[in-house]
Structure 1
Amino acid sequence: MAGNWQGRWDMAMGQMAPKKERERVFDFPANYYYEQVVAVVHRDSKTTKLADLDGKTVGALANSAYNDYANHKLNPDWKGSTPITYQFKPGAVTSYGATTMAFDDLRLGDGVRLDAVIADKVVANTAISKGYPMKILNDPLYAAPAAIAILKGDNEFSEKIAAAVKGMKDDGSLSKLSIKWYGADYSTEK
């Protein structure tokens, strides 16, 4: 987590996966969001299932879990994770500095520069709603939790955050917020 905490903030909610390596520095009192990672193809693509992407050129954000998935190197080491099932084997993976750059290449046409992009479902749906000629294939490739992060050691604060998020899950308000802002419920793993 970039920045110098020293009294500047108490917690971070930046879609950080609660990975074991991060637990040396942070406590993760609660997961509040589950990122759904999807494969996106051009609207005119004949691709109908993930296996159709075998041997194809796939774009993904550089130095990201999406890129690791595309290269069959994703290690989901967050609490409660299960092994990843790879549903296709790209012939080539093109890395991008931003997901929108990959979408820009994909919208040039099916197979012109890319056959698919691996991305967050919310980001993909936003691009589609803005006119990008794309469609999402099938169900998510995987879901990754996003947790609230705090510096290690404040058990009382951690318990209060956990209780607040649990209360929001129990009364449905977290689900309602997700639907209001994202158009779907991303507060639980699906």
Structure 2
Amino acid sequence: MYIKKFALIAASALALMAGQAMAGETLDRVTSSGKLTMSSDPEYPPQSFLNDSNEMDGFDVDVGKEIAKRMGVELAIVTPSWEVITAGGWAGRWDMSVGSMTPTAARAQVLNFPAVYYYTPASFAVHTDSPVATLEELNGKVIGTCGGCTYDAYLNKDLEIDAEGAPPFEYQVTAGEIRTYETDTNAFDDLRLGDGVRVDAVFSALPTIQEAIKNGYPLKVLGEPAFYEPLSVATDKGDDEFDAKIAEIVGEMHEDGTLKALSEKWYGVDLTTVE
């Protein structure tokens, strides 16, 4: 049975923030300039990537474009590193992150998460030549993942996902060594060199692994997903009006089926709900 938490999340966030609303510097800047600036990753397909026309494309990019459209402004995209985005204190360099970010307790100290827009399964993958067939066999292995992300936190057994609607999970793998990378693609590049050449496995979003396989990477997915992540639009702290507007728009996109259609376009399935 599917649990549709997004409407409750968006409505609750909107009600809370509307009650606390104050003059919004970010919202004023966006509306007066006619431009909404979003941070993104150029190497995170199918969420965000540079297409053959050298333009940003992907699920997250389409979500950002739709948010800007409903605000009545143009979308601009910048590509700072993930560590810089999650550190907060953006100082107006960009206005929001639609970057498949999990709203963890640690991140909530420096960022706000006004609207969950989809959920994604986190999975392990090995080289097609690997004899490893179960998650248990990954114990003690060298596992590659993105640095400073939720997959890194999971491998360090320090992951806290406290967003409403997040399913519970257990730590099923104890890595012998965790090798971190700037992007998931870099981890895939090392694994494609061969089983155990640099890493024994990678840990990433299942849709990202599947996209890599579709693009010729010799990977195979192991077992069931380790956990499901609620993924949210992120904003810098300090503008409740802007957060309320984001929550309102994303709530509408859930209700009218826009997010479902975008998910099916990029993933072939509806990831806007979880089982």
TM-score (ref. length: structure 1) = 0.81
In structure 1, the gaps of 5 or more residues are: none
Q: Which residue of structure 1 lines up, in the alignment, with residue 101 of structure 2? A: 16
Deviation string 1:94-139 (CA, Å, 9 cap, x unpaired) is 2223322221221222233322101122221221111110011222
Check if 1:116 corresponds to 2:201. yes
* C-alpha distance in structure 2 between counterparts of 1:169 and 1:135, whole Å: 32
Cα deviation for residue 48 of structure 1 reads 2.4
Counterpart AA for 1:105: D
* C-alpha distance in structure 2 between counterparts of 1:148 and 1:93, whole Å: 28
Cα deviation for residue 25 of structure 1 reads 5.2
Q: Which residue of structure 2 lines up, in the alignment, with residue 63 of structure 1? A: 148
Cα deviation for residue 13 of structure 1 reads 1.8
Q: Which residue of structure 2 lines up, in the alignment, with residue 4 of structure 1? A: 91
After superposition, the CA RMSD in angstroms is: 2.6
Percent identical among aligned pairs is: 42
Deviation string 1:111-170 (CA, Å, 9 cap, x unpaired) is 333221011222212211111100112222112222223444434x54443333233223
Structure 2 counterparts to residues 1-190 of structure 1, below 5 A: 1=85, 3-5=90-92, 10-24=95-109, 26-81=111-166, 84-150=169-235, 151-155=237-241, 157-190=242-275
Evaluate the alpha carbon distance shift between residue 26 and residue 64 of structure 1 in structure 2; reply closer, same or farther with a 3 A threshold: closer
- Checking the alignment, whether the CA contact within 8 Å between 2:105 and 2:160 is kept in structure 1 is no
- Checking the alignment, whether the CA contact within 8 Å between 2:142 and 2:178 is kept in structure 1 is yes
* C-alpha distance in structure 2 between counterparts of 1:116 and 1:38, whole Å: 10
Counterpart AA for 2:123: V
* C-alpha distance in structure 2 between counterparts of 1:31 and 1:143, whole Å: 13
- Checking the alignment, whether the CA contact within 8 Å between 1:56 and 1:92 is kept in structure 2 is yes
- Partner SS for 1:87: coil
Evaluate the alpha carbon distance shift between residue 78 and residue 9 of structure 1 in structure 2; reply closer, same or farther with a 3 A threshold: same
Evaluate the alpha carbon distance shift between residue 82 and residue 125 of structure 1 in structure 2; reply closer, same or farther with a 3 A threshold: closer
Moved more, 106-115 or 117-126: 106-115
Evaluate the alpha carbon distance shift between residue 69 and residue 27 of structure 1 in structure 2; reply closer, same or farther with a 3 A threshold: closer
Aligned length: 187
* C-alpha distance in structure 2 between counterparts of 1:172 and 1:76, whole Å: 26
Cα deviation for residue 21 of structure 1 reads 4.3
